[in-house]
């Protein structure tokens, strides 16, 4: 593996989009992330967008659980 691939500063220094933020948050919910991807996320994600995506993901997760429980109980 080349050293440039592991260095987040060697890549585009622009901010990640909302879909990249959602992807990072979903991986965080799952609890698995490669170290290289984690470093890239830390360098490119906007903390406000991560908080917003985390809250949205949490609400959707709870609503999904409620729907499943409601369907099973009925």
13-67 pLDDT tens trace: 567 788 888 888 888 888 887 888 888 888 888 889 889 999 999 999 999 999 9
Distances (CA, A) of 15 to 21, 25, 47, 67: 10, 15, 11, 35
pLDDT band at 1 (very low <50, low <70, confident <90, very high): very low
Please report the pLDDT score of residue 72 as a whole number. Answer: 96
Which residues have a Cβ under 8 Å from the Cβ of 10 and sit 6 or more positions away?
A: 4
Please report the pLDDT score of residue 41 as a whole number. Answer: 80
* Distance between CA atoms of residues 18 and 14, nearest Å: 13
Q: Quick one: DSSP state of residue 8?
A: G
Please report the pLDDT score of residue 61 as a whole number. Answer: 94
Domain count, the chain: 1
List the domain range (segments joined by +) for residue 13.
3-73
Global confidence as pTM:
0.67
Q: Give me the phi and psi of 14, to 5 degrees please.
A: -70, 165
């Amino acid at each position: 593996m080349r050293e440039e691939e592991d260095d987040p500063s060697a890549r585009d220094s622009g901010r990640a989009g909302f879909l990249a933020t959602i992807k990072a948050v979903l991986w965080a919910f799952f609890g698995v992330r490669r170290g290289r991807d984690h470093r890239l996320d830390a360098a490119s994600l906007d903390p406000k967008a991560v908080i917003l995506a985390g809250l949205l993901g949490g609400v959707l997760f709870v609503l999904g659980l409620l729907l499943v429980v409601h369907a099973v109980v009925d």
